[in-house]
Amino acid sequence: MEQRNIHPTTRIPVRSESEQIRDQIIQFFLQANGGFVSTRDLSVRLGISRTAVWKHIQLLESIGFSFTVQPRLGHRLEIVPNIILLPLLERHLSATCQLGREVKWLSEVDSTNAVATRLAALGAPHGTVVVAARQTAGRGRRGRTWFSPVGGLWVSVLLRRPIPLQHAAELTLLSSFAMRRALMAETNLHIDVKWPNDLLYNGKKVCGILAEIRSEGESLATAVLGMGVNTNLLATDFPTDLLKNAATLSTARNQPVSHQKVLAQVLSQLDPWVEQLSTGQSVFPQIAKEWRQSCITLGQSVRVNTPAGLVTGQAIAVDDGGILYVRTQSGLMQKIHTGDVLFEEGQE
């Protein structure tokens, strides 16, 4: 959990006017349920010219939508791309979910966490999601960079809930746990947790989480939960040094992963947990049994890189606060609040 200082000012719209119209157009096509929608109808309903409607449709085509055009009938939506836009995400969210009700999609960005932090400072609402097709300066934990080419799911979720600081560390555990459930449901692959919040397939990393928080007194003011998932990347996308420890899900299951379904499941799962944390109640004990069963770190000989140095020993337990207990060779039990469990051959 990393701390950054941002100061909220007045609220600005997360999506531009043009992005809001684009999303309304998508919504009309989804409602038409495979039927034709006329340009005239769209222009009347949106209060914009027919030329403007055409321009928006061209923009949609440029980001992967595909339409059939019939004179007099209009357009019929044929292909929906695997990207996160509000109307595409919302159809999969649980009815009560407050997360993901505002979505900023970007084709390229430095870091979705950086954008979410900037939007937080401008007053973006609780649950705002920032997604990018590609990140040029994706941030990893402990100042590392995160390799984020087109094909992965690179997303940040802004939380604005007064979660007591003593429960803040749970956010990353819960996010990775929600992501594990969602990925397993979507892919049918078995995914393990590596303490504290890495997800692995066959011993190789498929997801990392980076939470950046801003506190006010004893509570969180905002938290940005950044999640990076190697969904639809190819092994050939990775530089050789990363490939040693990274896996991609589409390669493992031989089929692409739906970003919309995965993210909607993660958000729908996280939402009530976030609300519970903000009432001052811990959530981790509720899921601890399943979490421990999925955690490959427990019972292993480990080397943990901690801010206080390297700890070597046997991973014995993770308590209800997410703290890892390692018994060192001298028999001493070390409590580790934060760190990286190193892979066999060294660094991640």
> Which residue ranges make up the site for ligand BTN (CB under 6 A)?
111-113, 135, 138-141, 144, 146, 148, 154-156, 198, 208-210, 226-228
Name the residue number minimizing CB distance to ligand BTN.
208
Query: Which lies closer to ligand BTN via its Cβ, residue 22 or residue 194?
Result: 194
Q: Please state the closest distance from residue 196 (CB atom) to ligand BTN, in A.
A: 10
**φ/ψ bin of 69: left (φ > 0), alpha (ψ from -120 to 50), beta (otherwise):** beta
The residue (of 39 and 112) whose beta carbon lies closer to ligand BTN is 112
Shortest Cβ 245–ligand BTN spacing (Å): 11
Of residues 55 and 144, the one with the C-beta less far from ligand BTN: 144
Which ranges constitute the DSSP H helices of the chain? Answer: 17-32, 39-46, 50-62, 86-90, 112-121, 165-168, 170-187, 240-243, 249-253, 259-278, 284-294
Q: Is the peptide bond prior to 196 cis by the omega test (within 30 degrees of 0)?
A: yes
Q: How far is the CB of 5 from ligand BTN (least distance, A)?
A: 18
**Distance of alpha carbon 164 from the chain centroid:** 22
- End-to-end C-alpha distance for the chain, whole angstroms: 18
Amino acid, res. 199: L
- C-alpha distances (whole Å) from 284 to each of 15, 43, 168, 270, 274 are 34, 50, 11, 12, 11
State the nearest-atom distance from the C-beta of 36 to ligand BTN, in Å: 38
Nearer to ligand BTN, 87 or 208 (CB): 208
Quote the least distance from Cβ 17 to ligand BTN, whole Å: 26
Residue whose CB is less far from ligand BTN, 60 or 341 = 341
